[in-house]
Amino acid sequence: MKVKALQCSGINNLELVEFDKPEPQENASVLKIKTCGICGTDLHGIEGKRPVKFPFIPGHEIVATVDSAGKDANKFIRTIGGNDFKPGDRVTINPRIVCGKCYYCTNFPEYQEMCINAITATSQGSGKYPFLFGGWAQYLYVLPGSEIIRLPETLSDELAALIEPFAVAVGCIDRFRKIQDRVSGDAFEIRDTVVVYGIGAIGLFMVAGFFLAGAKKIIAIDTRKEKLELSKEFGATEIIDASSTCQEERLKIIKELTENTGAGVVIESCGVPDVINEGLIALRRGGILFEIGHLLNVGKAGIDPMILCRNELKLLGHYAYPSSQIMLYAACILKRHQLPYEKLLRFIKLEDYSKLFRNLSENLNVIKPAFVM
């Protein structure tokens, strides 16, 4: 049987190709892909902005059913959210495979993203059998050591396409709450004011996540008016157009909206280095800034260490989510359907990929595009 896949053979070189459908080894499985999202990290690999092994099949935000499994697959592939998986089960997958042996896996097993030997499916490349390690394909080969997350029955395939990126926001809120629980004397409350810089997919999920968690006030900041208007539908109580304001004006607005104290939480998700210092100034005393926008090196940030010190601020990097359990939490939140998530999605057939990427390059208002198989 032939399987279609969208393969990247070199920088900005995408092509629709066919592979033989692989059979799983005894300790592996094969999934039939229903949908797979398009993430910024996929684009970074295609554009040569992060290390990849050409050729490769991008894609890790998958919704799938189990097609087949080796006889010992459940001994080597962990299932989150239920019993052992079997053919026909509807699932998603954690794109990272950790070693379980390094310093971080041994001492901080709850933070899987710290594993120094972690691999991702797409990093395996598609140059040799079994080829299908990325989600932009009709089938996906699941390696031993992977974690499969069972999907709630009441969660549609469409909304399930948002689980992986939404888990980034859920993981951030989980860290926020752990700081609140563990640090005696800190005046952290989930009812605090949250400022989100950058309303792309992750920024919008941050707005939604903190809204659902009970944030008192959420201020969204971006240069794109349509993204700011959309953020209101996902919990933003105030918006600031960064294209028509300077730093001084934005900080003044934030102070006015917070009774001259500042925000309790700032999320930097726009990937602009200078915003980090602006975000620190926007915080109240004891506040926390989550830096999530700089997956790539786009320059250095100059910060005022006196502000950090005297105001007892916390500056934390946040990358992805600590565990597959967070993905399950994200699925359970999405199934409640408390927000108009459908507005974020745009599905397109795999063979129409060139049309989709042309639209992305024209910067159309697409928050979360995804392929449907």
pTM of the predicted structure, to 2 decimals: 0.92
Label residue 75 by pLDDT band (50, 70, 90).
Answer: very high
Q: What are phi and psi of 178, to 5 degrees?
A: -65, -35
> What stretch of H or E contains 150?
strand 147-150
pLDDT per residue over 324-357, tens digit each?
Answer: 889 999 999 999 999 999 999 999 999 999 887 7
165-184 burial by CB neighbour count: b if 16+ within 10 A, else e? Answer: bbbbbbbbbbbbeeeeeeee
For 21, which DSSP code?
P
Q: How far is CA 370 from CA 3, 119, 133, 322, 361, in A?
A: 18, 23, 17, 24, 15
Cβ–Cβ < 8 Å for 219, 194: yes
180, 143: one domain? no
What band does 364 get if pLDDT is binned at 50, 70 and 90? low
Cβ burial 297-327 (10 Å sphere, 16+ → b, else e)? eeeebebeeeebeeeebbbeebebbbbbbbb
Instruction: Please tell me what DSSP assigns to residue 352.
Output: G
Shared domain for 205 and 245, answered yes or no, is: yes
Q: 102, 90 in Cβ contact below 8 A?
A: no
Question: Which 3 state secondary structure label does DSSP give 193?
Answer: strand
Residue 257 is assigned to a structural domain of this protein: yes
Measured between alpha carbons, how far apart are the two ends of the chain, in Å?
16
User: Within this chain, do residues 133 and 102 fall inside the same structural domain, yes or no?
Assistant: yes
Helix axes 201-212, 225-232, angle to 10 degrees: 20
Mean pLDDT of the chain: 91
Q: Is the pLDDT of residue 361 over 70?
A: no
Mean pLDDT for the stretch of residues 155-177: 92
| CATH number for 38 | 3.90.180.10
Which amino acid, one-letter code, is at 91? V
Choice among 35-39, 109-113, 258-262, 315-319 with the minimum mean pLDDT? 109-113
Inside any domain, residue 334: no
Q: Which residue segment(s) compose the domain that 66 sits in?
A: 2-151+340-372
**190 and 267 assigned to the same domain:** yes
Is 333 part of a structural domain of the chain?
Answer: no
Q: Do both 180 and 147 map to the same domain?
A: no
pLDDT confidence of residue 274: 94
Q: Indicate the SS3 state at residue 48.
A: coil
Q: What is the CATH number of the domain that holds 297?
A: 3.40.50.720
Percentage above 70 pLDDT, the chain: 94
Per the CB < 8 A criterion, the answer to whether 263 and 282 are in contact is yes
Residue range 169-189, pLDDT digits in tens: 999 988 887 766 554 444 445
Domain count across the chain: 2
Q: Give 32's Cβ-side CA count (13 Å radius).
A: 11
Mean of pLDDT values over 212-233: 95
Is 197 among the domain residues? yes
Pairing between β-strand 29-37 and β-strand 139-142 as defined by DSSP bridges: antiparallel
Give the residue-averaged pLDDT of 109-120: 89
pLDDT (0 to 100) of residue 242: 98
Residue 291 located in a structural domain: yes
Mean pLDDT of 120-146: 92
Q: Tell whether 276 is covered by a domain.
A: yes
The answer to whether residues 55 and 126 touch, using CB atoms and an 8 Å cutoff, is yes
Distance CA 109, CA 367 (A): 32
> Which residue's entry shows tokens 């896949």?
5
Q: What is the CA radius of gyration of the chain?
A: 21
Both 137 and 190 in one domain: the answer is: no
Q: Are residues 305 and 220 in the same domain?
A: yes
Rounded to 5 degrees, φ, ψ at 224 are -105, 115
Based on the fold, state whether residues 126 and 180 are members of the same structural domain: no
pLDDT confidence bin for 256, thresholds 50/70/90? very high
Residue type for position 176: F
Same domain, 7 and 125: yes
pLDDT value for 65: 98
Residue with tokens 């409350």: 189
More confident residue, 248 or 367: 248
Q: Both tokens of residue 234? A: 């996902």
Rounded to the nearest angstrom, the gap between the alpha carbon of residue 319 and the centroid of all alpha carbons in its chain is 8
- Shared domain for 140 and 22, answered yes or no, is yes
Statement to judge: residues 218 and 78 lie in one domain: no
Residues 364 and 264 in one domain: no
Instruction: Tell me the pLDDT tens digit for each residue of 92-107.
Output: 999 999 999 999 999 9
